[in-house]
Structure 1
Amino acid sequence: MKVNSAHNVQFIDKFNVPQNGKQEFLERVKINRNLIKTLPGFIEDTAYERADQQGNLVYITIAVWESEEAIKNAKEIVQAEYKKQGFNMAEMFMRLNITMDRGVYKKLD
C-alpha cells in the first residue's frame, strides 16, 4: 500500500558483513524487519543481498515510510525495544566488523 507516495520517504541501509557474521546478522535483520512492519507509518520494505569478491555479504534494506516523522518515531520505538531485549547494535557491529551506510531518501519521479 503506497499512501500519498509523493511524500513517502525511503530509509536505506547498506551493510557490509564479513562471512563469519552473516548468520547472526541475518537473524537480527529478521527480528528488526518483523518489528518495523508493525509500526505506525510503515508502508513496505525490501531487502537485497549479494556477495563481494571476498565472499562477504553486502546487504541493502529499503524501508518506505509515510514521512520523516514516522521514521523518527520508529527509531525511538526500535531503540526502546533494543533496550528491553538487552541488544546493543553498536557492540554487535564492532564485534562482527560490520559497517553500515544509512540515509533517508526521497524518491524521484
Structure 2
Amino acid sequence: MNFIDKFFVPAAAIKEFRERVKINRNFIEKLPGFIEDAAYEYTDNDGNLIFITVAMWQSAEALNKAKEAVQAEYKKEGFDAPAMFKRLGITVDRGIYTRVHE
C-alpha cells in the first residue's frame, strides 16, 4: 500500500516546508506497519519546488492507524497543516496508490 503526496511549494516557502517534512518523515518511520518511504523533488523555472513523497505501508489498516497517529501528534504539537499550507500557498495532491503489475 503506497500513500503518495505531491506538493507544489512556492519558492519563498521551501525552507519552512522542508523543516516540516523532516519532522513528519522522522515520525512516521517509527509507526507500526511502516515499510519505507522516499522523496523526489525538482525545482521549476520560477524556483518553486515540486516535492513527492511515497510512503509504503504493510496494509490499509496500518496506513489508517498511521494517519490517526499523525493527527494526534499534530494536535499535541498544536500544528495545523491546512493552515500552514494556506499561509504559504502550498498545494497538495494525495492518494492511496496500488502498484500495477503487468
Q: Pick the TM interval, shorter chain.
A: over 0.9
Superposed structure 1 runs of 4+ greater than 4 Å apart = none
Q: Which amino acid is the alignment partner of residue 96 of structure 2?
A: V
Identity of aligned residues (%): 60
TM-score by length of 2: 0.97
Task: Give the Å deviation of 1:104.
Answer: 0.2
2:99 is the alignment partner of 1:107: yes
2:16 is the alignment partner of 1:62: no
Q: Which amino acid is the alignment partner of residue 102 of structure 1?
A: R
The Cα RMSD (Å) is 0.5
Mark the runs of 5 or more structure 2 residues left unpaired by the alignment: none
Mark the runs of 5 or more structure 1 residues left unpaired by the alignment: 1-8
TM-score by length of 1: 0.91
Tell me the distance in 2 between the aligned counterparts of 1:84 and 1:75. 14
Q: Residue 81 of structure 1 is aligned with which of 73, 76, 80?
A: 73
2:18 is the alignment partner of 1:26: yes
Tell me the distance in 2 between the aligned counterparts of 1:82 and 1:53. 33
